[in-house]
Chain A
Amino acid sequence: MGKNILFWVGVRSEDPLLIEKHGNFKYLDISKECWQWWCNKNNILFYEYNNPSEKDTRAHRATWTRWFDVFDQVDNLGINYDKIAVIDGSSLCRWDTPNFFELCDNRLTAFRSLENLKWIYQGIQGYQDLFPEVQFDLSKYISCGFQIFNESHRKFLFELKEFYYKDYDEIMLKQQTEVRKGTDQPVYNYMLQKYNIDVNRELPKEFMLTHLNRFDLLSHNWQLKEDSTTFFIKYGYIWFYSGFPNRGDRLNLMQQTWEMIKHNYE
Chain B
Amino acid sequence: MSKNIVFIVNLEEQKKQGRGTPYHYSISSWDIWCKKNDCELFVLTERIYPENYMNANWHKLYVFQLLDDSGIDYDQILIVDADTIIHPNAPNIFELSKRKFCAVHNYGSYDWICRSIENYKKHLFPNVEVPLFEYFNSGIIICNKSHKNFYEKIINFYLNNQEKIRILQETYHVGTDQPVLNYFVQQEKIEYKQLPYEWNMQDLRRFEILDEELTFTKIGWIYHFNGIPDDMRNYIMKKTREELLCN
Instruction: Please list the residues of chain A having a beta carbon within 8 angstroms of any beta carbon in chain B.
Output: 114-119, 121, 138-139, 204-206, 214-217, 219, 221-224, 226, 231, 234-235
Contacts and interface: CB of A to CB of B under 8 A. Distances in A.
A97 B112 CA distance: 25
DSSP majority for the A interface? Answer: loop
Interface of B: 107-112, 114-115, 118-119, 122, 132-133, 172, 174, 196-198, 206-209, 211, 215-216, 218-220
A118 B132 contact: no
Contact of A121 (B118, B206, B218): B218
Given A114-B107, A215-B108, A221-B114, A121 B133 contact: no
Contacts of A223: 115, 119, 172, 174
B209 A224 contact: no
A135 to B, nearest CB: 13
B38 to A, nearest CB: 25
Contacts of A235: 110, 114, 132-133
A219 B207 CA distance: 19
Contact of B207 (A115, A216, A226): A115
Nearest to A214: B206
Contacts of A222: 115
B119 A217 contact: no
By CB atoms of chain A within 10 A, which of B107, B110, B132, B197 has the most? B110
Contact of A117 (B110, B118, B133, B207): B207
A215 B111 CA distance: 8
A69 to B, nearest CB: 33
A231 B208 contact: no
A214 B132 CA distance: 17
B111 A204 contact: no
A115 B107 CA distance: 10
Contacts of B174: 223
28 contacts: A117-B207, A117-B216, A118-B207, A118-B209, A118-B211, A118-B215, A121-B209, A121-B215, A138-B219, A139-B197, A139-B220, A204-B133, A205-B133, A215-B109, A215-B110, A216-B109, A219-B110, A219-B111, A221-B114, A221-B118, A221-B119, A223-B119, A223-B174, A224-B119, A226-B122, A231-B111, A235-B110, A235-B114
Nearest to B201: A117
Nearest to A231: B114
A136 B122 CA distance: 45
A139 B118 contact: no
Contact of A216 (B111, B118, B209): B111
Contacts of A139: 196-198, 220
